[in-house]
A and B are shown apart, each in its own frame.
Chain A
Amino acid sequence: MSEILKNWIAGLGLPGLLVIDGHIHMGEWRHAATFANADEAAAQSVAAMDATGIDACCVQSGGYMFEGMDYRLGNDFLLELCRRVPDRLIGFACVNPNDSRGNILDELSRVYDAGIRALKLINDYQERYPGDGPNLMAVYEFAARRGMIVFNHSWRQDVIEKISAAFPDTTFIFGHYGGGWPDAVLKERANVYANIWCVAPLGWLDRGIANAGAGKFILGSDGFLNPLSVGIGPVAFAQASDADKRSILGLTMARLLEKAGALPDPLRRKLKEND
């Protein structure tokens, strides 16, 4: 039996592995509050990571990323969290492409200057702004010039094909992978990756690994809407080698963060040990 699965089902977490959850949200929501304030968010996120065996999380905005909201307030909260837990919370800032180009670029500069090296977009929930609309193309341009990672809730196939070709040195990660057409894009485009959180059907991850290779998939849970364990479970139980599982659970994301200059020092050391 896989050593990773054996430890996981024994309740031990993921001993010895570098584990990075590439998709969690923190902040206020429209439908509920997950944390009362930044103190509680910092303390409870660390406790949740410890309980599950996760080294670090890529943290993204909460309710302020949706249409009609001031996304800058969500970024403020992220920056605050990253200041409090710098080694374990890695910020992915958000913008709303329906804002003016000037406001968007100002906000990108602000968060970049504050140390943010990755973006999380969600234009599907921002009046369905097109993924290749002019303001998002400007965002990609900004990210490309600085080597930032661009993660999006989702892109249409034609859009991800277009932008990954237009910015071949930029890392693009799409969220909520559930199989299907993305496999071909993942296989063909070296700079495109998939974050795996999805309530997908039986066998989805095994098929994805067979089609595109384990190196294209990144752990994600959509915490703290969900418990962090729901992202790990499908990986732990996948019919893949432990080497493939290690890539998905953290090594691939760590390498991408390192390339973007966003990997905290303790994780860089752990990456060297595990790589």
Chain B
Amino acid sequence: MRASKAMPGLDTLRLFDSCMTLGRLVHSAYSPGLTVDQALELMDRYHIAEALVHEHDARLIHPRERANRRLLEAVAGQPRLHPVWVIEPPKSPGPDAARALVATMLDAGVRAARLPMKAAPPLLWLWEDLCAALEEHRIPCFLDFGDISTSGEVSDGDVNGVREIALAHPELPMILSQLFGGLGVHPAVVPLVRRVPNLYLDIAGILEFWREVAVEAGPERILFSTGAPFADPGIYVSNVQYEPRLDEPAKRKIAGDNLRRLLKEVR
């Protein structure tokens, strides 16, 4: 039947996907992965205007630089695809190596980072140099708790560690990315987002929690993501478009404008 009240048209939301994986996958549970052309085709199909993309191998294989560099070559000349590097704390302690890594990233035109929390757990002493360097430039950081896919769950220790890091770096936008947990995300996640202003949540935790955060802490704290190709974008696209409690300006923020603002604030 017809919706009782028309929802905003999908194109008016200007979707900006904050998590899309490029590269070949060999796994019985997933499609073979996305090339650049396939990603663009997918975006057209789901009316996604822009996407942050990272390389599959960069999440899982060292040296991460190799796949990060491959990503740059792949997306060169594609204005709808914005590269994200997967980075972890340099082996050498101190600010110099961390600053060098961030400078290399920025020089390459990369304005967002994906931090692999399973490879380098959220311990303040481990991440403080790199997060300080990222914070100097306000680079949005996506906290990735996934394994083969970008989707993952957090433990009590993870939540506590994220809290300590985020509070220690209040100018660093940190996004809890692709959290998922069956009947609910970890019970401390939503209280944590409410208490830490530079912490954001993407909509992968599709159980009621992102909507609860959007209503109670503000839609500014929520980012759209699909997690493609590990998840069906139709789930997430429709989730935002047809959310009954949020108005169109709030949906626009979630759909893409929040992410655009964060990227604009990178310096």
Whether a CB of chain A sits under 8 angstroms from the CB of B79 is no
Query: Which residue on A lies nearest to B227, using beta carbons?
Result: A199
Instruction: Say yes or no: A12 contacts B3, CB within 8 Å.
Output: yes
Among B1, B8, B30, B241, find the residue whose CB has the most chain A CB atoms closer than 10 A. Answer: B1
- In the complex, what residues of A have CB within 8 A of residue B47's CB? 9
Known: A202-B31, A230-B206, A233-B239. A11 touches B232 (CB 8 A): no
- In the complex, what residues of B have CB within 8 A of residue A30's CB? 183
A32, A201, A226: the one within 8 Å of B232 (CB)? A201
Instruction: Say yes or no: B231 contacts A202, CB within 8 Å.
Output: yes
Instruction: Say yes or no: A51 contacts B237, CB within 8 Å.
Output: no
Query: Is chain B's binding surface mostly helix, strand, loop or mixed?
Result: loop
Instruction: Say yes or no: A232 contacts B1, CB within 8 Å.
Output: no
Whether a CB of chain A sits under 8 angstroms from the CB of B250 is no
CA A252 to CA B242, docked complex, whole Å: 24
Beta-carbon contacts under 8 Å, A5-49 to B? 8-19, 29-32, 34, 47-48
> Would you give 6 A-B contacts (Cβ < 8 Å), ordered by A?
A13-B3, A47-B244, A48-B244, A202-B31, A229-B239, A230-B238
Beta-carbon contacts under 8 Å, A228-270 to B? 228-230, 232-238
Instruction: Say yes or no: B5 contacts A51, CB within 8 Å.
Output: yes
Whether a CB of chain A sits under 8 angstroms from the CB of B42 is yes
Whether a CB of chain B sits under 8 angstroms from the CB of A200 is yes
Beta-carbon contacts under 8 Å, B198-254 to A? 206-208, 211, 228-239, 241-244
Instruction: Say yes or no: B233 contacts A227, CB within 8 Å.
Output: no
CB distance from B55 to the nearest CB of A (A): 17
Query: Which residue on B lies nearest to A205, using beta carbons?
Result: B232
Whether a CB of chain B sits under 8 angstroms from the CB of A204 is yes
Known: A52-B242, A233-B237, A237-B234. A11 touches B10 (CB 8 A): yes
- Number of chain B residues close to chain A: CB under 8 A: 43
- In the complex, what residues of A have CB within 8 A of residue B237's CB? 233, 237
B10, B187, B233: the one within 8 Å of A202 (CB)? B233
Instruction: Say yes or no: B244 contacts A236, CB within 8 Å.
Output: no
CA A52 to CA B229, docked complex, whole Å: 26
- Number of chain A residues close to chain B: CB under 8 A: 47
Number of interchain pairs (Cβ within 8 Å): 140
Known: A9-B9, A34-B208. A199 touches B42 (CB 8 A): no
Query: Which residue on B lies nearest to A54, using beta carbons?
Result: B1
Instruction: Say yes or no: B241 contacts A229, CB within 8 Å.
Output: yes
CA A12 to CA B1, docked complex, whole Å: 9
CB distance from B158 to the nearest CB of A (A): 18
Whether a CB of chain B sits under 8 angstroms from the CB of A69 is no
Whether a CB of chain A sits under 8 angstroms from the CB of B61 is no
CB distance from B74 to the nearest CB of A (A): 18
Among A32, A180, A238, find the residue whose CB has the most chain B CB atoms closer than 10 A. Answer: A32
Known: A9-B47, A17-B1, A229-B239. A199 touches B180 (CB 8 A): yes
CA A10 to CA B42, docked complex, whole Å: 18
- In the complex, what residues of B have CB within 8 A of residue A16's CB? 1-2
- In the complex, what residues of A have CB within 8 A of residue B244's CB? 47-48, 51-52, 227
Query: Which residue on A lies nearest to B27, using beta carbons?
Result: A201
- In the complex, what residues of A have CB within 8 A of residue B211's CB? 227
